[in-house]
Structure 1
Amino acid sequence: MIIFLNQLWSAIGHVFTYYTLHDFLIVLGLLAVDFILVLSLRSHLQDPAKKRILHLIGGFIPILTIIIFQTYLIIMSGGKLLLSQTNLQLVILYYFILMLDNKTQIILESLLALGMLGYFLTQQSISSVQLGLGILGLIIVVLSSYYINANRKKILNNMYLYVFWMIIWGSSWWLILILGVHNGAIYQYLALLIKFIVLMTIVHYLNHFVRSALDRYLRIEDSSKKDFLTGIWNREAFNQESEKSFQLFQLNQRPFYFLMFDIDNFKAFNDTYGHTTGDNVLKSVTAQVQLTLENTSLESNFYRLGGEEFGIIINNATTLEVTSLSKVLAKNVKRHPIVYDGQTLTLTISMGITVIKAADLEFDTIYQRADDALYYSKEHGKSAITIEDQLIEIK
């Protein structure tokens, strides 16, 4: 036993070197770049078709990162493949399994594990026991990777689960990789596994620190763009997103509709029943519109522009779809009155809708056109919709 522990300690000393720290810092840099790249692409691609492309590309990011890093290691070692540094590649793989909801990377990782097993089988003589352990490792790698990716949020939030699956996943990978170590013994296997666990634990805590700081920043930024009363996006968020939609149209002709509405007779509600009732009117209308938008397949964003005035940006839709949605919105608001002191107060809204046109040079032109359409609806009886000069009364 003492001899085995001495061998294990010696093996651990051999796998943890100065170069481990040097290369680990490079891995952290690669992970940071990849993390920023993924966040950047997600924030800029809104089109569903492009999202699918991004999803596919995202699956290749871990493998490409490993190829880049492995190429660097081979060059630095004079053309040699050093399996003692493979833990750094495993860190990259495991990190992305936990960070990205992407089945493409699981398929690619499974193919990589299969390829590594096949490669080692052709390079040296392997006993039936080693072969059996290698195949077992391959099976566990595939199944555990799929499970970890599917349950990554639960695993990330529970340190015991994180450590458990880290050991299962890492040990199964080394059941395959140890086949490439000449005369690989159990103490070498354990030393390499311990190295992976130590490195991945460091990554976990660094990642937890960075993500916690990022989450706090995003919550603060998000709250600054939310309307305090209704909880929907405010005017600042509208200004940013409307400009982004306009720029996307200029770049790739991605069309969008702008729907503006306000609550009919809102001033009378405030003057007659008080500002508390006025606030309840705003909340009720917002809730009905939000619920309706959530139950439609159309891509939309909902904003409070100020007072009783609201706006909705609808992407990739037809005039027929937008007209149908606007009717449903108006009818749902009307079907849900509020009660004040035993009195039922019916709520209605008036709308103005327009679509971006090739001749529009700025978003303000679109905004003014929708505002004019809204004014036309209110001037012709309220509880109405005006879209492209067509007036639709809501009964």
Structure 2
Amino acid sequence: MYLLENFLSDVFNIKSIIMALITVGLIAIMMVLTYMLAPRSTKLPRRYRLVIDLVEAGVVIGGVVLLRQTFWVLNAGNVLSWGYAIAQLMILLFSLYAMQNIAVTLVNLAMPVFFYGQALYMGASWQWWWLFALMLLVLVGVIGYISHHQALVLKSEWRFLGLQLLYGLAWCLIIWSVRPFRLFYIVNVLVIFIIYMWIIRFFVTRVNRVIAHFASLDQAANYDELTGVRNRANFDTTTVGVFGVYQRHPAMPITMAMFDIDHFKYFNDDYGHLAGDAVLKHVAQHFNQELLRQTNHGELFRYGGEEFVIIFENTEPLEAQRIVTAIRDTLQHEPVNLNGKKLNVTVSIGISALQTTDLNFDSWFKRVDHYLYLAKEAGRDRITVEGDTQKL
């Protein structure tokens, strides 16, 4: 009974309540951060997604440091408390479920190593190093499984319970390997830890549902269902903003490229509408992927039918020509495969920069559309840049 009272007094006291409030606040911040960044990060180039991953990992590390410093102050330089340990484990495990990125996974993997190394540096015995090594392997397995099967774990209550038990038990034994305590405490720690994490699971699943719901709404409203690229409605919204930016910063070049799939009616008439859909999807995804690989300043839209538009910010027409020509050239080496047949696809392109004489967006758009018309009239598989038509 004395052990239980001693444990409860360590976990449930005014200092622990303060720590609990800070922990809840940190979890709330991470939930908001996840809600704000998750839907956007998937649409960004890889290097920007990496920056977001590092920001999220920094928030987790900052949260752990804040917890430690707060407890350090509250306990006059002492952080040996089960209340602090439980709070830290909650932050780490919540980040693993909510943020779902490699940087946060690495933070979770690094924390036990950091803890063990710090304990040895402060004079702890390494007598039980083999126990630490064994529990570290268990943690690596649990963290790796959660990272790759997050949705499955949250969906299954028993799988969730089993992984929480393994995670909490491994951490308890890692702590025991350098700071021995009565093993009776493990049961109490695991019970409290599981209860807290069950509550957190409730909120994580709902946040994930909200994110998925808004992502689906955004996808339906702004992205073409067939090709997966931005649609006409998103184009109209974007161009309003682009025109406004140009009016404020006329020195910044903004270029539009419009391209059309040559003889698209031929694919529909000779191979059927499913072939036409396959060609549209292939061309759109190829341009979108290559555009992301070659520049950070271009956005692709399906304007309608077989016609697509790319808006290049801070890009001169000749640079836009170089980019779309390079993408078109790679397209020639990747024909559409349809029932064993290879369908070669060519495009015609018109390019023009936004000019100070353009009083509105329509005058710019009509000029680009006219240049596309000139490219098609010249025999297709052509590009017209500011009125100059060339064979691709």
What TM bracket, shorter-length normalisation?
A: 0.7 to 0.9
- 3-state SS, counterpart of residue 80 of structure 1: coil
Q: Tell me the alpha carbon deviations over residues 161-193 of structure 1, each in whole angstroms, 9 at most, x when there is no partner.
A: 322222212211111224576x62111122112
Displacement of 1:314 after TM fit? 6.5
- 3-state SS, counterpart of residue 259 of structure 2: strand
* Alignment counterpart, residue 81 of structure 2, candidates 83, 89, 100: 83
Partner of 1:99: 98
Partner of 1:292: 286
Provide the rounded CA distance (Å) in 1 between the counterparts of 2:245 and 2:168. 44
Partner of 2:341: none
Which residues of 2 match residues 316-395 of structure 1 at below 5 A? Answer: 319-326=321-328, 350-354=348-352, 367-382=365-380, 384-393=382-391
Which residues of 2 match residues 108-123 of structure 1 at below 5 A? Answer: 108-121=107-120
Displacement of 1:34 after TM fit? 2.8
* Alignment counterpart, residue 27 of structure 2, candidates 26, 31, 43: 31
- 1:64 matched to 2:66? The reply is no
Is residue 350–residue 374 contact of structure 1 (8 Å, CA) maintained in 2?
A: yes
Change (3 A) 1:248 1:320: same
- 1:238 matched to 2:235? The reply is yes
Partner of 1:339: none
Partner of 1:141: 139
- 1:310 matched to 2:304? The reply is no
Provide the rounded CA distance (Å) in 1 between the counterparts of 2:371 and 2:200. 55
- 3-state SS, counterpart of residue 311 of structure 1: strand
Change (3 A) 1:118 1:211: same
Q: Letter of the aligned partner of 1:116 in structure 2?
A: F
49-58 vs 205-214, greater mean Cα deviation = 49-58
Provide the rounded CA distance (Å) in 1 between the counterparts of 2:234 and 2:199. 37
Partner of 1:283: 277
- 1:215 matched to 2:212? The reply is yes
Provide the rounded CA distance (Å) in 1 between the counterparts of 2:359 and 2:145. 50
Displacement of 1:390 after TM fit? 3.9
* Residue segments in structure 1 that go unaligned for 5+ positions in a row: 1-5, 337-345
Provide the rounded CA distance (Å) in 2 between the counterparts of 1:165 and 1:98. 12
Q: Tell me the alpha carbon deviations over residues 20-61 of structure 1, each in whole angstroms, 9 at most, x when there is no partner.
A: 565434323212323433554563894544443333343332
Q: Tell me the alpha carbon deviations over residues 76-116 of structure 1, each in whole angstroms, 9 at most, x when there is no partner.
A: 44543242222111111112223334444444444432332
TM-score by length of 1: 0.72
The percent of aligned pairs where both chains have the same amino acid is: 22
Is residue 351–residue 386 contact of structure 2 (8 Å, CA) maintained in 1?
A: yes
Provide the rounded CA distance (Å) in 2 between the counterparts of 1:180 and 1:202. 30
Aligned length: 372
Provide the rounded CA distance (Å) in 2 between the counterparts of 1:330 and 1:350. 13
Q: Letter of the aligned partner of 1:207 in structure 2?
A: V
Is residue 113–residue 138 contact of structure 1 (8 Å, CA) maintained in 2?
A: yes
Provide the rounded CA distance (Å) in 2 between the counterparts of 1:305 and 1:136. 58
Q: Tell me the alpha carbon deviations over residues 257-284 of structure 1, each in whole angstroms, 9 at most, x when there is no partner.
A: 6431346688x99xxx9xxx8x768635
Provide the rounded CA distance (Å) in 2 between the counterparts of 1:161 and 1:134. 24
Provide the rounded CA distance (Å) in 2 between the counterparts of 1:210 and 1:39. 7
Change (3 A) 1:373 1:190: same
Is residue 15–residue 195 contact of structure 1 (8 Å, CA) maintained in 2?
A: no
TM-score by length of 2: 0.72
Q: Letter of the aligned partner of 1:238 in structure 2?
A: F
Q: Letter of the aligned partner of 2:350 in structure 1?
A: G
Provide the rounded CA distance (Å) in 1 between the counterparts of 2:357 and 2:107. 47
Q: Letter of the aligned partner of 2:171 in structure 1?
A: W
Is residue 326–residue 385 contact of structure 1 (8 Å, CA) maintained in 2?
A: no
Change (3 A) 1:68 1:312: same
- 3-state SS, counterpart of residue 219 of structure 1: helix
Q: Letter of the aligned partner of 1:136 in structure 2?
A: L
- 3-state SS, counterpart of residue 184 of structure 1: coil
Is residue 100–residue 147 contact of structure 2 (8 Å, CA) maintained in 1?
A: yes
Provide the rounded CA distance (Å) in 2 between the counterparts of 1:254 and 1:140. 55
Which residues of 2 match residues 16-55 of structure 1 at below 5 A? Answer: 17=12, 19=14, 23-37=19-33, 40=36, 43=40, 46=44, 48-55=46-53
RMSD of aligned alpha carbons: 4.6
Provide the rounded CA distance (Å) in 2 between the counterparts of 1:232 and 1:126. 59
- 3-state SS, counterpart of residue 81 of structure 1: coil
